[in-house]
């Protein structure tokens, strides 16, 4: 019964306050919680403290509005503590989320490494005499002590998939797209294998729910510190990332990965949550490639035998976002219309099965097992 889409509660918030609601200075409004017991369980599963959550969303700290990153018309806000992202959504998107909620719940319970967006709540606010505003609260993928210096929103399609900005205006806040991607990401073998397994499971879940148009959002932090120095390694070996022999390079890489894992072990021993997990805080190497728009090196096999480009030690953050578009009639029309003008396989609106295949194929080319 908790999953029933009709399971929603309205609370009135009059400005003067009530026994259970605080006084406030805005107009009288009503607040709706959708499937509150399910989301309470989900927050619990994702280890979100109820008090911290309430204070972050409803406390006195202002939310930070992001300059409309998407083209859907949604508004995005970040809480002060950077942990939660609020996105305004259409009624149809709420419907999709509530429809898939039972299987979403099952999926994230079954796979703790799932990369699909972590949903913490769905709500609606209606000021008296005003319009309803529906929004979801989700985990901010880039909540990190590191600066995210590059961000990519990747769908595996090419049509219209580049940022409209000229090179000089691209900065840390720009969301770059498929055709702008100029890196391949090298992951340690066990993480690489885990990623491939999990992406398969996540895509199967989304496909079964007839979802499409989702993206893999990737955030990159470039480590320019000489981590090895702290471990007493010779500065000669460490010199500004340029390592002379293959053996030394392998050794260094091992040290960096090991140090990150050891730091994480310290956290666990101190009773804190591990900070490295699939899609968060992952030590990796980024190898510079030609941009896809310059030369499509990501076609069959290309990225698995890349020419040796510059290599950067990085920390990666990633997850699957924008999972509330189902393949409805609008998409069918969009597909028919767009395919008149472009190669149907290159546009983003293909059916969920094709979408998921193209998405997975792309991911398996941009991530490489670091041997």
Residues that bind ligand ATP (CB under 6 A): 69-72, 74, 76, 85, 117, 138-142, 151, 153, 175, 215, 217, 321-322
Task: Report the residue number, 326 or 370, with the smaller CB distance to ligand ATP.
Answer: 326
DSSP letters for 216-283: EEEEEEE--S-GGGGGT--HHHHGGG---SHHHHHHHHHHHHHHHHHHHHHHHHTTPPPS-BTTBSEE
Determine which helix (DSSP H) or strand (DSSP E) holds 208, and give its type and residue range.
helix 189-208
Residue 366 Cβ vs ligand ATP, minimum distance, rounded to whole Å? 16
Exposed, middle or buried: residue 328 (CB in 10 Å: 0-12, 13-18, 19+)? exposed
Q: How far apart are the first and last CA of the chain?
A: 49
Residue 95 Cβ vs ligand ATP, minimum distance, rounded to whole Å? 16
Residue 78 Cβ vs ligand ATP, minimum distance, rounded to whole Å? 8
Half-sphere exposure of 113 (CA within 13 A, CB side): 17
Task: Report the residue number, 171 or 266, with the smaller CB distance to ligand ATP.
Answer: 171
Residue 370 Cβ vs ligand ATP, minimum distance, rounded to whole Å? 25
Task: Report the residue number, 92 or 304, with the smaller CB distance to ligand ATP.
Answer: 92
Nearest alpha-carbon partner for 34 in 106, 118, 101? 101
Task: Report the residue number, 150 or 151, with the smaller CB distance to ligand ATP.
Answer: 151
Residue 139 Cβ vs ligand ATP, minimum distance, rounded to whole Å? 6
Radius of gyration of the chain (CA): 22
Residue 102 Cβ vs ligand ATP, minimum distance, rounded to whole Å? 22
Spatial distance between the Cα atoms of 184 and 207, rounded to a whole number of angstroms = 26
Residue 239 Cβ vs ligand ATP, minimum distance, rounded to whole Å? 35
Task: Report the residue number, 322 or 370, with the smaller CB distance to ligand ATP.
Answer: 322
Residue 13 Cβ vs ligand ATP, minimum distance, rounded to whole Å? 27
Contact 358, 350 (CB under 8 A): yes
Task: Report the residue number, 13 or 76, with the smaller CB distance to ligand ATP.
Answer: 76
Task: Report the residue number, 170 or 237, with the smaller CB distance to ligand ATP.
Answer: 170
Task: Report the residue number, 115 or 252, with the smaller CB distance to ligand ATP.
Answer: 115
Q: Tokens 């703790």 label which residue? A: 112
Q: Buried (b) or exposed (e) across 89-108, using 16+ Cβ within 10 A?
A: beeebbebbbebbeebbebb
Spatial distance between the Cα atoms of 29 and 27, rounded to a whole number of angstroms = 6
Residue nearest ligand ATP (C-beta atom): 70
Nearest alpha-carbon partner for 345 in 159, 171, 129? 159
Task: Report the residue number, 13 or 318, with the smaller CB distance to ligand ATP.
Answer: 318
Residue 46 Cβ vs ligand ATP, minimum distance, rounded to whole Å? 12
Residue 302 Cβ vs ligand ATP, minimum distance, rounded to whole Å? 25
Spatial distance between the Cα atoms of 27 and 118, rounded to a whole number of angstroms = 31
Q: In the chain, where do the E strands start and end?
A: 8-13, 29-34, 64-66, 76-78, 84-89, 119-127, 133-139, 150-154, 175-177, 183-188, 215-222, 282-288, 311-321, 367-370
Task: Report the residue number, 73 or 301, with the smaller CB distance to ligand ATP.
Answer: 73
Backbone angles phi, psi at 213, to 5 degrees: 75, 5
Q: Which structure tokens are listed for 12?
A: 């009135």
């Amino acid at each position: 019964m908790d999953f029933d889409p009709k399971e929603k509660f309205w609370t009135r918030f009059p400005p003067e306050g009530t026994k259970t609601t605080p006084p406030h200075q805005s107009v009288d409004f009503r607040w709706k919680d959708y499937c509150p017991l399910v989301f309470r369980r989900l927050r619990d599963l994702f280890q979100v403290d109820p008090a911290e959550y309430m204070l972050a969303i409803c406390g006195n700290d202002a939310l930070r509005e992001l300059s409309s990153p998407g083209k859907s018309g949604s508004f995005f806000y970040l809480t002060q503590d950077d942990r939660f992202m609020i996105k305004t959504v259409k009624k149809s998107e709420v419907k999709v989320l509530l429809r898939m909620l039972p299987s979403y719940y099952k999926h994230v319970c079954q796979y703790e490494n799932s990369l699909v967006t972590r949903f913490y709540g769905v709500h609606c606010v209606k000021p008296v005499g005003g319009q309803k505003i529906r929004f979801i609260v989700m985990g901010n993928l880039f909540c990190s002590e590191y600066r995210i210096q590059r961000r990519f929103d990747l769908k595996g399609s090419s049509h219209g998939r580049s940022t409209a900005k000229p090179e000089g205006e691209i900065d840390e806040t720009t969301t770059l797209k498929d055709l702008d991607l100029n890196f391949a990401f090298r992951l340690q073998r066990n993480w690489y294998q885990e990623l491939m397994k999990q992406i398969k499971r996540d895509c199967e879940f989304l496909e079964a729910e007839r979802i499409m148009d989702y993206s893999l959002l990737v955030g990159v932090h470039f480590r320019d510190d000489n981590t090895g120095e702290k471990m007493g390694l010779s500065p000669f070996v460490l010199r500004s990332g340029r390592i002379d022999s293959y053996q030394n390079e392998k050794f260094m890489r091992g040290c960096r990965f090991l140090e990150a894992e050891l730091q994480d072990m310290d956290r666990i021993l101190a009773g804190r949550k591990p900070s490295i997990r699939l899609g968060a805080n992952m030590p990796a190497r980024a190898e510079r490639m030609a941009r896809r728009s310059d030369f499509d090196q990501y076609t069959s096999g290309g990225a698995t035998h890349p020419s040796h480009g510059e290599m950067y030690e990085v920390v990666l953050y990633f997850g699957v976002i924008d999972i509330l578009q189902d393949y409805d009639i609008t998409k069918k029309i969009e597909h028919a219309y767009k395919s008149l003008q472009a190669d149907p396989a290159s546009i983003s609106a293909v059916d969920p099965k094709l979408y998921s295949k193209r998405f997975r194929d792309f991911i398996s080319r941009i991530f490489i097992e670091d041997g």
